[in-house]
Structure 1
Amino acid sequence: MSWEGGVVRGNERTIVITGASDGIGAQAARRIAGRERNQRLILVGRSPHKTAAVAREAGAEYFVADYTRLDDVRELAAGIRGSADRIDVLANNAGGIFGERTVTADGNEKTLQVNLLAPFLLTHLLLDLLRAGEGGVINTSSASARIVGRIDIDDLNHTRSYAPMRAYGDAKLAAILHARGLHARHGAQGINAAAFDPGNVRTNFGAENDDVLTRLLYRTPLSRVALISAEKGGGNLAHFLTGRPGTDWGGGRFYARTEPAKPRQTNKQVHDDVLVEALWNRSAELTGIAPR
């Protein structure tokens, strides 16, 4: 984990965007750069070169962290805590779909760790900074949460069966459940957590996955018809970053782009309160923190 930035700057409105080296995270950063006079933007990405380039464009500070290592997440949280005294909105936007099943050094299936466990841990470690600010947490989900997502709490790591898109859909469904659990536990302390589907975005998504459907959708001319641009997807994320949590968007909710999701856009498991609780406790166990 590495960092480049400045010093604590008082009560500026602070926005943290993970997954900001490319795709909708980078586009959102560009869109909101300089939007508010009293705004501080902190970007997080895996690629040092790409993250630094986006940070220069946006006039932002940045950190580099690899979510396949939970120690990187802990160092990232310590770095942000040493740099800022408040967070107004945290965008848990980092994620990815991968090819063959891979287990990280922490013992978790890679898709689960990158899309759920690392953001879960980072958010937990930054709770006090969120309480000191506006307390917004927005998790990036996906339409795949509805289409292929089905969480089996006893097999989160897909040891019994594995398919890249299924693992991704499960993890993105889990991101919605994480937002619901976070809001239920900490809403009374000023945390407003929600999740959103930015739309099917034309990015470098799935670069490590070589299945037929991913190639067809993301690496052929069909992508120009079936997918929206990264600029539009980034604009949907920017909506939540510039809006006021609890006022312009509500905690505990799931959004399709920028509007509350309709039942047909939502996986039925989203409303399973028992599953929300079970997933929270299991995520806490896998990240080494006590359930709260």
Structure 2
Amino acid sequence: MASTKSAKNGRVTKDLEIAGKTVLITGANTGIGLETAIDLAQRNAKVIIACRNLQKAESAKQKIIESSGSNNVVVKHLDLASFESIRKLAADINATEERLDVLINNPGLVLSTYEETADGFEMQFGVNHLGHFLLTNLLLDLLKRSAPSRIVNVASAGHQATTINWNDPNRKNNFNGMEAYCQSKLMNVLFSRELSKKLDGSGVTSNSLHPGAVETEIGRDLGCCKMSGFLACMTICFFTFCPCVVVDAEQGAQTSVYCAIAPELENVTGKYFSGCKVVRESSHARNDESASKLWEMSEELTGL
């Protein structure tokens, strides 16, 4: 495929197809993940959506098929709050799929109260970071065999609002849900950065992104706060001192699609994107020592 500029005004050109490619998207039953799946299915990719709620996933599958005209959509069960579930999905994918060209780590859980995963980690730390860290590592061999391939980590500008609490990454003491969320997004960017170095020369790229201030269901689990997706996104932007224009999920998915398929990005790795272009992440997100430290901690906590 010839190298071209594949996006204009924050949107990926419609004529760019990826027939014969397999894409796995986590949490694709709603919001940005669902719109990403629809877009890639329209471009003739095989799309695997990995979701916790199978009933919602099947409904999403039908919407993807109806919207894209493609029947090449597969539903898999994945509970990112359970290492056991993650290992089962990875074993399934490794056993049944001949190739995996793109892995999109999509969900960004936001909670107002302290909750724990099945493995005893604060839910946002466990789902947004540790779950995706484990899944990605378990699928690396397949991604390498499918090279050139890509790993896309959906982060957030919220990563700019905090640092990592190394002494208490669960942030159990004096818990603040938004701070825990922003920490998990910083971890996404650092993980993507360190992963790009470990994959150097493998043909697999690793990039992270900010999808924009997107009106989705991201705030559906904010419990007593009763915060809508709109308010959750506005709150994140407020905390990061970023002026924003709220966009819908379809527009918010464009940077994920761009990072997944743009031919000019085939050899671009370790970068952070927004609006379908490279932007500068926070100074904490560019700290190689922190990226390495996070990797080592994550390896230990996930049992890799």
The equivalent of 2:88 in structure 1 is 75
Structure 1 residues 100 and 119: CA distance shift in structure 2, 3 A = same
The equivalent of 1:30 in structure 2 is 38
Match status 1:159 vs 2:172 = yes
Contact 2:216 2:230 in 1 (8 A): no
Separation (CA, whole Å) in 2 of partners of 1:128 and 1:216? 36
**1:146-179: per-residue Cα shift (whole Å, max 9, x none)?**
1x22112222111333111100000011000000
Summarize the alignment of residues 1-292 of structure 1 with structure 2, pairs less than 5 Å apart: 12-36=20-44, 39-56=45-62, 57-58=64-65, 59=71, 60-133=73-146, 134-146=148-160, 148-210=161-223, 214-215=227-228, 217-218=230-231, 226-244=245-263, 246-247=265-266, 250-262=268-280, 266-289=281-304
Structure 1 residues 101 and 252: CA distance shift in structure 2, 3 A = same
Residue identity matched to 1:231? E
Q: Normalising to structure 2: TM-score of the pair?
A: 0.83
Structure 1 residues 153 and 78: CA distance shift in structure 2, 3 A = same
- Following superposition, the deviation at residue 216 of structure 1 comes to 8.7
Contact 1:68 1:110 in 2 (8 A): yes
Separation (CA, whole Å) in 1 of partners of 2:246 and 2:224? 18
- Following superposition, the deviation at residue 53 of structure 1 comes to 2.1
- Following superposition, the deviation at residue 45 of structure 1 comes to 1.4
Local SS of the residue matching 2:23: strand
Local SS of the residue matching 2:201: helix
Structure 1 residues 271 and 220: CA distance shift in structure 2, 3 A = closer
Separation (CA, whole Å) in 2 of partners of 1:252 and 1:273? 11
Separation (CA, whole Å) in 2 of partners of 1:106 and 1:219? 27
Separation (CA, whole Å) in 1 of partners of 2:246 and 2:42? 28
- Following superposition, the deviation at residue 268 of structure 1 comes to 1.1
Structure 1 residues 132 and 205: CA distance shift in structure 2, 3 A = same
Separation (CA, whole Å) in 1 of partners of 2:214 and 2:233? 14
**For structure 1, which segment, 234-243 or 132-141, has the greater mean C-alpha deviation from structure 2 after superposition?**
234-243
Residue identity matched to 2:61? A
Contact 1:16 1:89 in 2 (8 A): yes
Q: Normalising to structure 1: TM-score of the pair?
A: 0.86
Contact 2:29 2:51 in 1 (8 A): yes
Give RMSD over aligned pairs. Answer: 2.5
- Following superposition, the deviation at residue 241 of structure 1 comes to 2.2
Structure 1 residues 230 and 280: CA distance shift in structure 2, 3 A = same
Residue identity matched to 2:149? G
Residue identity matched to 2:41? A
- Following superposition, the deviation at residue 246 of structure 1 comes to 4.3
Contact 1:205 1:218 in 2 (8 A): no
Separation (CA, whole Å) in 2 of partners of 1:267 and 1:108? 25
Local SS of the residue matching 2:253: helix
Separation (CA, whole Å) in 2 of partners of 1:196 and 1:177? 12
Local SS of the residue matching 2:22: strand
Local SS of the residue matching 1:17: strand
Contact 1:135 1:245 in 2 (8 A): no
Structure 1 residues 102 and 61: CA distance shift in structure 2, 3 A = same
Aligned residue pairs, count? 271
Structure 1 residues 211 and 184: CA distance shift in structure 2, 3 A = farther
Residue identity matched to 2:120? G
**1:69-107: per-residue Cα shift (whole Å, max 9, x none)?**
110100111111122122111000023111211122212
The answer for unaligned runs of 5 or more in structure 1 is 1-10
The answer for unaligned runs of 5 or more in structure 2 is 1-18, 66-70, 236-243
Separation (CA, whole Å) in 1 of partners of 2:169 and 2:152? 22
Local SS of the residue matching 1:153: coil
Structure 1 residues 216 and 183: CA distance shift in structure 2, 3 A = closer
**For structure 1, which segment, 54-63 or 21-30, has the greater mean C-alpha deviation from structure 2 after superposition?**
54-63
